[in-house]
Amino acid sequence: MPDLSPGSDADVAAVNALRSAVMRLGRRLKHQRVDESLSPTEMSVLGTLARCGSATPGELARKEHVQPPSMTRIVALLEAKGLVRQEPHPDDRRQKVVSQTEEAEAMLEESRRKRNAWLATLAEGLDEDEWAKLRAAAPVLEKLAHL
């Protein structure tokens, strides 16, 4: 683990540069959406359903770090747009299970393609050494994103 105490200026500077670059790149990626009518939170919920599978609104609220009433509203909006469906929970009829629709899957896939193409275009500006370093860093960044 890196020493991020006040005395380790190089590590503090590296963390600062990483934070800044990740935030800037993330903001730019958010603009590469296919459906501009969806909020970033709605897109995040669809992404969570794509990664984790069907879930109750309460489970989605925990995964997305929002309050359950907020998630209920988000799910209702997504359902009205035809991007999710709610079905009775198989074990607890008082609950619903939320799953994405085929339309949501197609929209997310198109969004991934657009974002990947945008990133690939940026990567064309890198030299071979920079590209190799970025490829090597990708699993580490993925790990950080899921800690």
pLDDT in tens, 89-115: 888 888 899 999 999 999 999 999 999
Domain with CATH 1.10.10.10 in the chain: 32-145
pLDDT on residue 40: 84
Q: What is the mean pLDDT of the chain?
A: 89
Total residues belonging to the chain: 147
Kindly report which listed range (3-17, 33-47, 49-63) carries the lowest average pLDDT score.
Answer: 3-17
Rounded Cα gap, residues 4 and 13, in angstroms: 10
Kindly report which listed range (24-38, 65-79, 128-142) carries the lowest average pLDDT score.
Answer: 24-38
pLDDT on residue 2: 59
CATH of 32-145, one of 3.30.830.10, 3.40.50.150, 1.10.10.10, 3.40.50.300: 1.10.10.10
Residue 32 pLDDT > 90:
no
Contact 73, 84 (CB under 8 A): no
H helices of the chain, in order, are 9-30, 40-52, 57-64, 68-80, 102-123, 128-145
Residue 121 pLDDT > 70:
yes
pLDDT confidence tier of residue 10, bands split at 50, 70 and 90: confident
Q: What are phi and psi of 27, to 5 degrees?
A: -60, -40
Rounded Cα gap, residues 55 and 52, in angstroms: 8
